[in-house]
């Protein structure tokens, strides 16, 4: 009896490849019939993480433009304030002072030239002018310091409790992003090659494989560090620039008020591939941010409590059983 069973099993093993080949040839002749159930199989889609469709950048926003001289369009309140401080306060003051000094020099060169003044002036002191040229610069600096210190204070204001924390690590030569509050382990962000960038409608040498995704209208707290040498995390449109120093945690915050894709680069000379470690930050709605977190296998803070309101917490169940 056992012998018979062995023969039967041996025959099964021997004919198994034939049966498999038959299945393959059957699927080859009728590809549509076998392909359809595979796609619509709910079990297969449930296992893989939900897909997240990334947005495409808008030309001229969040990236440099050819021949541009001004700051990039700012999408944070701090960035707008800083741009106003530069364009409406500092630039006019600098322009007026430069033109005034240039005019003064031209006037002196012409009016007091040697040919027109064979007898040089012996003038040495003028108390009124000395008071003026001391007081006026002091007043200008004191006036500029008010909005300047205000901007500094806004940039380093402590983040609110609901801020999204991201740990940013600079490596030679790529970035790592970790979302500790969302249980997303560190993901590596590297520059995309030219073909991939162009296929996605992104600028080459700014496009990356894994973007930093953040919600719109919510403060983001970046904890920045370097793993090997000093890097610098900088995104001009978000008014963010912070050194990534080994052995030190630097903090910088921003709150983007507009959805979109914003590019930046490492801004501290860090080695041979310093120019090839770009940064891409995608600002999305709160709902899409939750989708993205799910697509990365993470969870929203507090979502475990919200997701299972009917099942009692282990502590409560233990107390009820007592």
- Regarding 222 and contact with Cu ion (CB under 5 A), the answer is no
Q: What does 195-214 look like in DSSP terms, one character per residue?
A: HHHHHTT--TTT-BSS-EEE
- Regarding 270 and contact with Cu ion (CB under 5 A), the answer is yes
Strands 278-284 and 174-179: unpaired
CB of 229 to Cu ion, least distance (A): 8
- Regarding 274 and contact with Cu ion (CB under 5 A), the answer is yes
Coil, helix or strand for 235?
strand
Least Cα distance to 216 among 287, 272, 168 occurs for 287
Q: Locate 308 and state its tokens.
A: 């299972």
Residues in region 176-205 near Cu ion by CB under 5 A: none
CB of 244 to Cu ion, least distance (A): 9
- Regarding 207 and contact with Cu ion (CB under 5 A), the answer is no
- Regarding 244 and contact with Cu ion (CB under 5 A), the answer is no
Whether residue 173 has a cis bond before it, omega within 30° of 0:
yes
- Regarding 266 and contact with Cu ion (CB under 5 A), the answer is yes
DSSP code of residue 30: -
Site string for Cu ion, 51-90 (x = CB under 5 A): ----------------------------------------
- Regarding 154 and contact with Cu ion (CB under 5 A), the answer is no
Strands 184-189 and 231-235: unpaired
CB of 266 to Cu ion, least distance (A): 3
DSSP code of residue 49: P
Q: How far apart are CA 241 and CA 308, in angstroms?
A: 40
Q: Which stretch binds Cu ion (CB under 5 A): 85-93, 200-208, 219-227, 266-274?
A: 266-274
Phi and psi at 262, nearest 5°, equal -125, 130
CB of 232 to Cu ion, least distance (A): 7
CB of 221 to Cu ion, least distance (A): 22
Q: Which positions lie near Cu ion, rule CB under 5 A?
A: 231, 266, 270, 274
């Amino acid at each position: 009896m056992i012998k018979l069973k062995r023969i039967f099993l041996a025959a099964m093993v021997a004919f198994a490849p034939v049966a498999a080949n038959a299945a393959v040839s059957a699927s080859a002749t009728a590809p549509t019939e076998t392909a359809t159930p595979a796609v619509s199989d709910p079990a297969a889609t449930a296992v893989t993480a939900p897909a997240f469709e990334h947005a495409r950048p808008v030309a001229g926003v969040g990236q440099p433009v050819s021949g541009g001289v001004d700051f990039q369009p700012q999408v944070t309140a701090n960035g707008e304030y800083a741009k106003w401080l530069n364009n409406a306060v500092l630039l006019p003051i600098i322009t007026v002072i430069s033109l005034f000094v240039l005019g003064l020099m031209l006037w002196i060169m012409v009016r007091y030239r040697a040919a027109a003044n064979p007898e040089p002036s012996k003038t040495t002191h003028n108390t009124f002018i000395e008071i003026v040229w001391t007081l006026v610069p002091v007043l200008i600096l004191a006036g500029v310091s008010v909005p300047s210190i205000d901007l500094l204070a806004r940039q380093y204001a402590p983040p609110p409790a609901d801020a999204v924390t991201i740990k940013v690590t600079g490596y030679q030569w790529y970035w790592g992003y970790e979302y500790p509050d969302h249980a997303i382990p560190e993901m590596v962000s590297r520059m995309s090659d030219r073909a991939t960038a162009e296929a996605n409608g992104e600028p080459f040498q700014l496009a990356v494989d894994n973007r930093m995704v953040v919600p719109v209208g919510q403060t983001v707290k970046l904890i920045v560090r370097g793993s090997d040498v000093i890097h610098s995390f900088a995104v001009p449109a978000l008014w963010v620039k912070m050194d990534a120093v080994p052995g030190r945690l630097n903090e910088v915050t921003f709150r983007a008020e507009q959805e979109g894709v914003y590019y930046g680069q490492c801004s501290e000379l860090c080695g041979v591939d310093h120019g090839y470690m770009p940064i891409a930050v995608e600002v999305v709605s709160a709902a899409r941010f939750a989708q993205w977190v799910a697509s990365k296998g993470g969870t929203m803070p507090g979502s475990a409590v919200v997701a299972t309101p009917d099942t009692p917490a282990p502590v409560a169940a233990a107390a009820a059983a007592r």
